[in-house]
Amino acid sequence: MQKRFLGTGGLAVSALGFGCMGLSYGYSPGVDRATGIRIIQSAFESGITFFDTAQAYGALNEEMVGQALAPVRDQVVIATKFGFRGGDVGQGLDSRPGSIRAAVEGSLRRLGTDRIDLLYQHRVDPDVPIEDVAGTVRDLIHEGKVRHFGLSEAGAATIRRAHAVQPVAALQSEYSLWWREPEKSVLPVLQELGIGFVPFSPLGRGFLAGAIDEHTAFDKGDFRTTVPRFSAANRRANARLVEALGRLARDRGVTRAQIALAWLLAQKPWIVPIPGTTKPHRLQENARAAAVELDTRDLSAIEEALRPIAIAGDRYPAHLQKRVDR
């Protein structure tokens, strides 16, 4: 798989990464430790060298990543995140310098490593100046515990302020064919400052792959049960997008997921999507998307086909939308 660079500090990663959240968090039920380790190792064998986890995903998640990648530690880039009190999303935000240091020590221990390749602030904490956050990560970089600094769901002004203290290698935010807001104000700033972009949920939390429809029943612990965009009515309305993607994919001889990922890769050479899955066949399908090249004619056809389709439903419930920095 081809490499891409995030930021200007030499952080080279595979063109597609692997989002590990769903292995144990968010999309209940997750998988057991042994299965999670096998999936992560299969991702590496498929050419993926960039793995994304977080303190907030639970101890098991970071432990699976660490155990799976220990034999190839020097060949991979591991990203994790801090930013919630005690690592518990329910307890609220906490990016105080002491809390960042405690989170890093815990992540290093669970990952079984001596450094974190890319450390993100999981969500912007309005109670802690971003300069203090960036300064703390800068110190951790100088100490050798962290290599690169990242932000997640940060707005343009916050990105600029953080970058002035410690260069930001990557911003992680949602971006896909059904959530294109980053194009308005974030992507131009990233291009200007030389910051990479890591789209999470590049397949619309599974919806763009075509495996979810209005009749899909989610487990009661599944995060999507709280998301307005995943109400039965909105899934029915948004089926137009999936149908259009299906037609485009058939024309190219690929799958919906592959054309959605290839579209992201074609937007900028510094964009690295991180699809996640618990299914081996989906992992292989996603990995093959890195070889799908879309030319200007393909991209124009996608724009023309999808432009008339309005997306129904908010991407977050109101209480979570408040944590998105704008």
- Tally of residues, the chain: 326
Task: Tell me how crowded residue 268 is: count the other CB atoms within 10 A of its CB.
Answer: 14
Q: Which of 25, 57, 120, 175 does the annotation list as catalytic? A: 57
Residue from 265, 273, 277 nearest 198 by CA: 273
Token pair belonging to 116: 């974190």
DSSP annotation of 84 reads B
Contact 240, 309 (CB under 8 A): yes
In whole angstroms, what is the distance from residue 114 CA to residue 317 CA? 37
In whole angstroms, what is the distance from residue 236 CA to residue 239 CA? 5
Contact 51, 76 (CB under 8 A): yes
Question: Judging by DSSP bridges, how do beta strands 168-174 and 146-152 pair with one another?
Answer: parallel
Classify residue 219 by burial, with Cβ atoms within 10 Å: 0-12, 13-18, 19+: exposed
Query: Residue 106 contacts by C-beta under 8 Å, 6 or more apart in sequence?
Result: 55, 87
The distance between the two most distant Cα atoms of the chain, rounded to a whole number of Å, is 54
Task: Tell me how crowded residue 176 is: count the other CB atoms within 10 A of its CB.
Answer: 23
DSSP annotation of 314 reads -
In whole angstroms, what is the distance from residue 63 CA to residue 207 CA? 28
Give the 3-state secondary structure of residue 196.
strand
Contact 37, 62 (CB under 8 A): no
- The kind and range of the H/E element at 36 are helix 33-45
Annotated catalytic residue 57? yes
Catalytic residues: 57
